């Protein structure tokens, strides 16, 4: 069977184990069913996620022009604390920024090899956690907008990691009795005074179950370095496809790439 199209990050369903669907120009291919099978991927071009042009992807699926112009790639996407839509101040397009920023956001703890802090819109739970490959996750604050969540995250970052170390995440090493509620309790005092009212204990820890077992050694490849790849799919964690021999492809890092997939 052959499929072809533009890669977007894999769609997921939180089941036991999590179900993954490779999104190739809206063809959703269930990847769990392909575990144990040989897959060939060939890079044939680009399709910017914003303008659709066949321009080399610069970052996050955007061509260079769109990355620097689209409100969906603005600084506040990466750094929520810079958000200004709540003040009526726009960065690239105020109306779109309002729609992104002025809605409930969650500050959460997630275990991805280390305990880290993160921010996401509440509609992105648990998708965001699955995309990061978190084994455990727990909301610690619910805010009214992106700015407030960003400010809490900035304060927490002084005490906790905020980036995922992909290798550690893929090593899949964790204590079964890890309890993020203990961390929630400990870091309560680090909340900035003005934002303490957003702290919440209303949630219980979520555990996520991936179709994945860590291999002995972990290496990653990109379609830039290897435009044609063939291998047996061994499992999936986060947005990484794990192939026999310990080679990993980060699907999310290839958004906007056009490929042919042969199963
Ligand atoms: Zn573009």
pLDDT tens for the chain, 263 residues: list them.
999 999 999 999 999 999 999 999 989 999 999 999 999 999 999 999 999 999 999 999 999 999 999 999 999 998 999 999 999 999 999 999 999 999 999 999 999 999 999 999 999 999 999 999 999 999 999 999 999 999 999 999 999 998 899 999 999 999 988 999 999 998 888 998 999 999 999 999 999 999 999 999 999 999 999 999 999 999 999 999 999 999 999 999 999 999 999 99
CA of 62 to the centre of ligand 1 (A): 5
pLDDT score for 139: 97
CA of 7 to the centre of ligand 1 (A): 15
CA distance 78 to 91: 13
pTM for the full predicted model: 0.95
Please state, in angstroms and rounded to a whole number, the distance separating the CA atoms of residues 114 and 135. 10
At 169 the pLDDT is 97
Rounded to the nearest angstrom, the distance between the alpha carbon of 52 and the centre of ligand 1 is: 6
Question: What is the model's pLDDT at position 176?
Answer: 87
Q: Report how far ligand 1's centroid is from the alpha carbon of 94 (Å).
A: 20
CA of 53 to the centre of ligand 1 (A): 6
Q: Token pair for residue 232? A: 């047996």
CA of 8 to the centre of ligand 1 (A): 14
User: Is the link from the previous residue into 17 a cis peptide, with omega within 30 of 0?
Assistant: yes
Q: How many CB atoms lie within 10 A of CB 167?
A: 12
User: What's the gap in Å between 258 CA and the centre of ligand 1?
Assistant: 14
pLDDT at 6: 97
Q: What is the Å distance from ligand 1's center to 162 Cα? A: 29
Q: What is the pLDDT of residue 26?
A: 80
Write the DSSP string, the chain: -EEEEEEEEEEEE--SSPEEEEEETTEEEESGGGTTSEEEEEEEEE--TTT-----EEETTEEHHHHHH-GGGSHHHH-GGG--GGGT--SS-HHHHHHHHSS-EEEEEEESSSEEEEEEEGGGTTHHHHHHT-SEEEEEEEESSHHHHHHHHHHHTTTSB-S--HHHHHHT---TT--HHHHHHHHGGGS-GGGGGGB------EE---S----SS-EEE-TTT-SEEEEEEEEEETTEEEETTTEEEESGGGTTEEEEEE-
**Centre of ligand 1 from the C-alpha of residue 22, in Å:** 22
The whole-number pLDDT of residue 237 equals 98
Nearest to 110 by CA among 241, 218, 207: 207
CA 50 to ligand 1 centroid distance, Å: 5
Give the list of residues 6+ apart from residue 87 with CB closer than 8 angstroms, or none: none
Angle at the Cα of 198 from the Cα atoms of 192 and 199, rounded to 5 degrees: 80
Looking at residue 58, its pLDDT comes to 97
**Ligand 1 mean position, distance from CA 92 (Å):** 15
Residues 6+ apart with CB under 8 A from 210: 17, 18, 133, 172, 235, 236, 237, 238
């Amino acid at each position: 069977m052959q499929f072809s199209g533009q890669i977007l990050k894999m769609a997921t369903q939180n089941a036991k184990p999590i179900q993954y669907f490779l999104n190739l120009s809206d063809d959703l291919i269930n990847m769990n069913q392909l575990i144990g099978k040989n897959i060939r991927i060939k890079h044939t071009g680009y399709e910017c996620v914003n303008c659709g042009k066949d321009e080399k992807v610069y970052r996050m699926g955007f061509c260079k022009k769109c990355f620097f112009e689209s409100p969906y790639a603005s600084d506040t996407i990466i750094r929520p604390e810079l958000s200004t839509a709540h003040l009526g101040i726009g960065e690239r397009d105020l109306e779109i920024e309002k729609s992104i920023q002025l809605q409930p956001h969650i500050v959460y703890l997630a275990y991805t090899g280390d305990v880290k802090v993160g921010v996401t819109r509440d509609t992105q739970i648990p998708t965001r956690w699955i995309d990061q490959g978190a084994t455990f996750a727990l909301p610690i604050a619910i805010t009214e907008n992106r700015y407030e969540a960003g400010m809490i995250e900035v304060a927490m970052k002084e005490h906790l990691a905020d980036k995922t170390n992909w290798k550690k995440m893929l090593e899949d090493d964790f204590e079964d009795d890890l309890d993020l509620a203990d961390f929630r309790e400990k870091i309560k005092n680090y909340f900035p005074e003005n934002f303490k009212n957003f702290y919440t204990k209303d949630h219980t820890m979520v555990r996520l179950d991936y179709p994945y077992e860590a291999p002995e050694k972990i290496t990653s490849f990109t379609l830039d370095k290897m435009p044609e790849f063939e291998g047996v799919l061994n499992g999936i964690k986060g947005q990484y496809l794990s192939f026999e021999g310990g080679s990993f492809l980060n699907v999310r890092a290839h958004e906007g790439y056009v490929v042919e997939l042969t199963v």
